[in-house]
Amino acid sequence: MGDFSRIQKELRECAKDQKSGVTASPVGSSLNHLSGTITGPDGTPYEKGVFKIDIQIPTSYPFEPPKMKFVTKIWHPNISSQSGAICLDILKDQWSPALTIKTALISLQALLCTPQPVRGGREGGRERGREAGRKGRVTCMGRAGGPWP
């Protein structure tokens, strides 16, 4: 498991800051499996939705990023609609031990505001971005508890 005291401290930080729109808590008694949530940012198709995130903490954390994926189904060009896998640089090669679970969750919120170009040869990123705006609102309403227009 990762640094036990650091993970506890990070979870306390998430619980303390209720205005950030992110939460993280242990699944059961183990600190290597967490459940997180992010609220959809205002002014986006995901507004007022609450999205559940599965978080796996690797044994080398914080020197290796947490493994995160969306549990709540979502339509977004950087998130797999089938597996919930997330394409975000700080969860891969741009991770730094200075980052935290909370900053990673806040980065996911920011990703919902501003989809990033897809790297690694995935075609259709722009089209997926436009489609995400159209389908995102419907997804949010049906799966994340967001309001109907």
Higher pLDDT, 130 or 16: 16
Contacts (Cβ under 8 Å, ≥6 apart) of 66: 34, 55, 56, 57, 58, 91, 101, 104
Q: How do residues 23-65 score in pLDDT, each as one tens digit?
A: 999 999 989 999 999 999 999 999 989 999 999 999 999 999 9
Structure tokens at 7: 């993970």
> What's the Rg (C-alpha) of the chain?
15
Render 5-20 in DSSP notation, one character per residue: HHHHHHHHHHHH-GGG
Largest CA distance in the chain: 44
> What are the residue ranges spanned by the domains of the chain?
4-143
Mean pLDDT rounded to a whole number for the chain: 85
Contact, 15 vs 4, CB < 8 A?
Answer: no
In the chain, count of helices (H) and strands (E)? 3, 4
Single-letter residue type at 59 = T
Residue pointed to by tokens 């242990």:
26
Q: What is the CATH number of domain 4-143?
A: 3.10.110.10
Mean pLDDT of 7-19: 94
The catalytic residues are: 87
Report the DSSP beta bridge partners of residue 68: 55
E strands, 9-133, in order:
22-27, 30-39, 50-56, 67-70
Is the pLDDT score of 90 beyond 60?
yes
